[in-house]
A and B are shown apart, each in its own frame.
Chain A
Amino acid sequence: MIRRPAGDAEDFRVRQLRARDLLRGDIDGADLDRYVEERVLTTTLDRAVNWARGNAIFPATFGLACCAIEMMTTVAARNDIARFGFEAFRASPRQADLLIISGRVSIKMAPIVRRIYDQMLEPKWAIAMGACSSSMGVFNNYAIVPADKFMPVDVHVPGCPPRPEALMHGVLRLRAMILGDPGMGWRERYDARGTAEVDPAAAAQEAAVVAEAENVFGPGDTAGA
Chain B
Amino acid sequence: MPDATGLELLAQDLRDADPEAVLDTLYFRERATVLVNPARVRDTLTRLRDRGYRFLASLHGVDYYPEEPRLGVIYELLDMQRVDRLSVKLRLDTTAPEVDSVVEVFPTADFQEREVYDMFGVTFRGHPDLRRILMPEDYEGHPQRRDFPLGGEPVLFTFNEDATPGYTQ
B143 CB contact (under 8 Å) in A111, A135, A136, A142: A142
Cα separation A28 to B136 with both chains bound (whole Å): 74
Could you say which residues of chain B place their CB within 8 Å of the CB of A144? 152
Contact B152 A108 (CB under 8 A): no
Cα separation A139 to B153 with both chains bound (whole Å): 9
Could you say which residues of chain B place their CB within 8 Å of the CB of A136? 152-153
Contact A141 B153 (CB under 8 A): no
B28 contacts A by Cβ under 8 Å: no
Could you say which residues of chain B place their CB within 8 Å of the CB of A111? 136
The binding surface of chain B is classed by DSSP as loop
* Interface size bracket, A side: 10 to 19
Question: A108 with B136: in contact, given A142-B143, A143-B143 (CB under 8 Å)?
Answer: yes
A93 contacts B by Cβ under 8 Å: no
Contact A146 B151 (CB under 8 A): no
Name which residue of chain A comes closest to B137, CB basis: A108
Name which residue of chain A comes closest to B148, CB basis: A142
Cα separation A176 to B139 with both chains bound (whole Å): 41
Contact B134 A142 (CB under 8 A): no
A107 contacts B by Cβ under 8 Å: yes
Could you say which residues of chain A place their CB within 8 Å of the CB of B152? 136, 139-142, 144
Question: A135 with B153: in contact, given A108-B134, A142-B148 (CB under 8 Å)?
Answer: yes
Contact B150 A140 (CB under 8 A): yes
Could you say which residues of chain A place their CB within 8 Å of the CB of B148? 142
Proximity string of chain B (23-37) to chain A, C-beta cutoff 8 Å, 1 when within and 0 when not:
000000000000000
Could you say which residues of chain A place their CB within 8 Å of the CB of B136? 107-108, 111
Q: How far is the CB of B120 from chain A (nearest CB, A)?
A: 13
Taking Cβ atoms with an 8 Å cutoff, the residues of A that contact B are 107-108, 111, 135-136, 139-144, 146
Taking Cβ atoms with an 8 Å cutoff, the residues of B that contact A are 134-136, 139, 143, 148, 150-153, 155
Q: List 24 A-B contacts (CB under 8 A).
A: A107-B135, A107-B139, A108-B134, A108-B135, A108-B136, A111-B136, A135-B153, A136-B152, A136-B153, A139-B152, A140-B150, A140-B152, A140-B153, A141-B150, A141-B151, A141-B152, A142-B135, A142-B143, A142-B148, A142-B151, A142-B152, A143-B135, A144-B152, A146-B153
